[in-house]
Amino acid sequence: MQASETSKTRELSGTAAVGGPPYRAPREEFPILSRPVNGRPLVWLDTAATAQKPRRVLDAMRSFSETRYANVHRGVHTLGYAATQAYEEARLRVAQFIGASGADEVIFVRGATEAINLVAASFGRSFISSGDEIIVTELEHHSNIVPWQLLRESTGAVLKVAPIADDGTLDLVQLEAMLGSRTRLVAVTHVSNVLGTVLPIATIARMAHAVGAHLLVDGCQAVPHRFVDVQAIGADFYAFSAHKMYGPTGIGVLWGRRELLAAMPPYQGGGEMIASVTFEQTTLKHPPHRFEAGTPPIIEANGLAAACDYLTDLGLARICGHEAALRAYALEGLATVPGLRVIGAGGNHEDGRAGIISFTMDGVHPHDVATVLDGSGIAIRAGHHCAQPLMQRLSVPATARVSFGLYNTTEDVDALVAGLGEVGEVFG
């Protein structure tokens, strides 16, 4: 740590190595970051839970609402056309952002949770039967566990769990050994929301495809922090939420390969997903509209597209480099806090992790750590992070977790380390 250097814009070692001009964390573009919390400047270290919104996203939603708002794919009036055009343009911008082969592969859903439930309900009930196997990992968020348990109950499918090593990395040898002729789906997170572990998706895709299985990737913690090309990594389904990528709540994306989506039945029925309806029979629309029953999140789609553009303009390689450097800087600082133990990471196990660090402090419950830090305006998350099986695997009831976003600075890390020093003093 270089405590004497306090500039918010100080360049971290390593961030320039990814090319382009030195990265400057754009705090001033995020209105909420200028508000004090408990009399101190807000230090937002809870981006893995949800990211704060830049003015560009807020403005896009406001401008659309003020000038082009109407329901989509319905009205023949001017605003109906304008809103529909904006909504479908947003879909195209998202498709380009993730490297989809077309906008028709992008389904707007409520968030990653709904995206995974959609695949379980639609693909799962059609293509997975009794005795077929679904493989998840010990790293998964509940959103990538419970939908498969529900599918298991309704179909008699078998749910297998690929183990991780103590350092939080996936055991690829054991995963490969679990794959077989009954494996229908491998469903893995891209980046762990607890440890920041980045899974080798392209390798997992090759393994899954070698036995004829499909691969679903939960990309919630990846898309805002590193460049993702869904086709290049070999995924078959890719799920993520807008609110974690500096966009609004209430919208997320399920990307699926065109031929898979075309073969899948609808997830929900209602308006807009049909070509025609009589009491005798209904003719369905093609994807993506087949999977978007009811009025979709129209304003939010415009916000999500603005978030994609924002991330593209800043450069995901630079964002990734900045957050990796912040992680390294934070690990140095955390190592100076007495009684603090980083969970499942650090030391020789860094291997390109994302900007998420979990830790415990001797004799202090993680909720107390978070509460004391909040008194200094520092927001972190404490608890099981919706990953209870992972907590059991790591033999901890809960952790304190810091997660970085593109707006964080070394000064934020310095505030965190100082705050943790106060936690130590409060709890003796």
d(CA 184, CA 158): 10
Tell me whether residue 27 or residue 385 sits nearer to ligand C6P (CB atom).
385
d(CA 213, CA 180): 9
Question: Active-site residue numbers?
Answer: 386
Residue 400 CB, shortest distance to ligand C6P, in Å, is: 12
378 binds ligand C6P (CB under 6 A): no
d(CA 330, CA 146): 33
Residue 280 CB, shortest distance to ligand C6P, in Å, is: 37
Tell me whether residue 110 or residue 318 sits nearer to ligand C6P (CB atom).
110
Give the interface segment with ligand C6P, choosing from 71-79, 109-117, 147-155, 230-238 (CB under 6 A): 109-117
Give the interface segment with ligand C6P, choosing from 108-116, 126-134, 150-158, 280-288 (CB under 6 A): 108-116
Centre a 10 Å sphere on the Cβ of residue 354 and count the other Cβ atoms it contains.
25
Residue 110 CB, shortest distance to ligand C6P, in Å, is: 7
Residue 200 CB, shortest distance to ligand C6P, in Å, is: 16
- Residue of 238, 385, 404, 414 interacting with ligand C6P (CB under 6 A): 385
d(CA 342, CA 327): 12
Tell me whether residue 10 or residue 384 sits nearer to ligand C6P (CB atom).
384
List, in sequence order, every beta strand (DSSP E) within 300-388.
Answer: 340-342, 356-361, 378-379, 381-383
- Residue of 141, 289, 290, 318 interacting with ligand C6P (CB under 6 A): 141
> What residues pair up with 208 in beta bridges, in sequence order?
none
Could you give the count of Cα atoms lying within 13 Å of 198 in the half-sphere of its Cβ?
17
How remote is the C-alpha of 378 from its chain's centroid?
A: 22
112 binds ligand C6P (CB under 6 A): yes
* Bridge pairing between strands 399-403 and 381-383: antiparallel
161 binds ligand C6P (CB under 6 A): no
d(CA 424, CA 428): 6
CB burial of 167-193 (b: ≥16 within 10 Å; e: otherwise) equals ebbbeeeebbebbeebbbbbbbbbbbb
d(CA 212, CA 155): 20
**Is residue 160 within a helix (H) or strand (E), and if so which, with residue range?**
strand 158-162
Q: Please, are residues 164 and 171 in contact by the beta-carbon 8 Å criterion?
A: yes
Which of positions 21-40 make contact with ligand C6P (CB under 6 A)?
Answer: none
Centre a 10 Å sphere on the Cβ of residue 295 and count the other Cβ atoms it contains.
13
Helix axes 410-426 and 366-375, enclosed angle (nearest 10): 120
325 binds ligand C6P (CB under 6 A): no
**Residues touching ligand C6P, count (CB under 6 A):** 16
Which of positions 187-226 make contact with ligand C6P (CB under 6 A)?
Answer: 189, 193, 218, 220-221
184 binds ligand C6P (CB under 6 A): no
105 binds ligand C6P (CB under 6 A): no
Residue 140 structure tokens: 């998964």
List, in sequence order, every beta strand (DSSP E) within 210-268.
Answer: 214-218, 237-241, 252-256
Residue 114 CB, shortest distance to ligand C6P, in Å, is: 7
111 binds ligand C6P (CB under 6 A): yes
379 binds ligand C6P (CB under 6 A): no
137 binds ligand C6P (CB under 6 A): no
300 binds ligand C6P (CB under 6 A): no
- Residue of 47, 52, 84, 113 interacting with ligand C6P (CB under 6 A): 113
- Residue of 381, 391, 407, 424 interacting with ligand C6P (CB under 6 A): 381
- Residue of 48, 135, 331, 413 interacting with ligand C6P (CB under 6 A): 48
Q: Which residues bind ligand C6P (CB under 6 A)?
A: 48-49, 111-113, 141, 143, 189, 193, 218, 220-221, 241, 381, 385-386
